[in-house]
Structure 1
Amino acid sequence: MSATQETREKAAFGRLHDAVNSGDMELIAKTIDEIVEPDALIRTPLPIDATGAEALKHVWARLFQTFPDLHVEVEDMIAEGDRLVCRNTVTGTHRGDFMGLPPTGRSVAYNEIFIFRFADGRIAETWGVVDVAGLMRQLGVLPGGSA
């Protein structure tokens, strides 16, 4: 793939990243509609019934209901061919129900790594690894977290 394609993919991801960090669900949904294929394959296990781009909208809506001040910091980004990989640190304050856990008011910071495959300039497939255990420790559900 060309450097131009990789630059285009980084720009598309940048738009999604900026939308997410705005916290504006309307902007996030609009951006997802523009840069994610409706039938994108989401390879990360999710506790929702939706698929494709709609699944991503549901995920972000739930995350912002739980962590209204959520922020994603991209630590590393690598683009090659039709793939873009990013390693992120996610921060937020637990202000809403999360997987049956009522709000704790605790601040959290957890890591994630995502791989995006692009087709014709749009996200067509994703894989993600999220440090849910680290997040649950910080929320006091698993041992080893801060009180």
Structure 2
Amino acid sequence: MLIDEVRELDERGMAAWDQHKADDFADMFADEFTLSDVTLPEALHSTDQVRQYMETWFTAFPDMHVRSINRVVSEDAVAAEVEFTGTNTGPLVFGGMEMPATGKTVKGSGTYFVSVRDGKIISFSAHPDVAGMMMQLGVRPGT
């Protein structure tokens, strides 16, 4: 792929996140792919799982907005730093555990790495700053 095509794919993905369009995001994945996130107990491999993953974030933060802070794009990959804001008014699921809403607003950050083949995502690896987000939500380990 051309770098501009990979950049456009990434921009569509960011728009899907920001506009809470789980279907649009899930449709960007190849027939066979891996999505991993440090908040998940295991990797995802189906578009239904990707939709549920996104809906979990949108339930926890219904007013969530994301934006790219820094990005490196090649013919087959993207590495990006993102910032997100949102108010935790729904249950938050991490590592298979559900935590009740705190009502607090967070400004979080994270990185992701994407591999692309034939215009589709074949690998997506997300690394949100979970510790920073938990501190802003007032959640401490063991509580």
Whether contact under 8 Å (1:91, 1:109) holds in the other structure is yes
Following superposition, the deviation at residue 127 of structure 1 comes to 1.6
Query: What's the secondary structure of 1:88's corresponding residue?
Result: strand
Letter of the 1:64 counterpart = F
Match of 1:93 in 2: 87
Q: Distance between the aligned counterparts of 1:29 and 1:51, measured in 2?
A: 15
Partner of residue 13, structure 2: 16
**Given that residues 116 and 122 in structure 2 are in contact (C-alpha distance below 8 angstroms), is that contact kept between their aligned partners in structure 1?**
yes
Q: 1:49 to 1:80 in 2, by over 3 A?
A: closer
Structure 1 residues 43 and 50, CA gap change in structure 2 (3 angstroms): closer
Tell me by how many angstroms 1:31 deviates.
4.1
Equivalent residue in structure 1 for 2:138, among 137, 140, 145: 140
Give, in angstroms, the shift of residue 49 of structure 1: 7.9
Q: Do the aligned residues in 1 keep the contact of 2:66 with 2:84 (CA within 8 Å)? A: yes
Asked if 1:44 corresponds to 2:37, the answer is: yes
Question: Aligned to 1:86, what secondary structure does the other structure show?
Answer: strand
What's the C-alpha RMSD, in Å, of the aligned pairs?
A: 2.0
More helix per residue: 1
Partner of 1:119: 117
User: Residues of 2 paired with 1:93 and 1:74: CA distance?
Assistant: 19
Asked if 1:103 corresponds to 2:101, the answer is yes
| TM-score normalised by L of structure 1 | 0.83
Q: Taking structure 2 as the reference length, what is the TM-score of the superposition?
A: 0.85
Q: Gaps spanning 5+ residues in structure 2: where?
A: none
- What amino acid sits opposite 1:94 in the alignment? N
Contact persistence 1:39–1:53 (CA under 8 A): no
Work out which of the two has the higher radius of gyration on C-alpha atoms and give 1 or 2: 1
The size of the alignment, in residue pairs, is: 136
In structure 1, stretches of 5+ residues that fail to align are none
Which whole-Å deviations, capped at 9, do the CAs of 1:26-70 have from their partners, x for residues lacking one? x4313421x211321123341478524333211110001110001
Please give the secondary structure, in 1, of the residue aligned with 2:138: coil
Q: Secondary structure at the match of 1:81?
A: coil
Q: Distance in 1 between matches of 2:136 and 2:31?
A: 34
Identity of aligned residues (%): 24
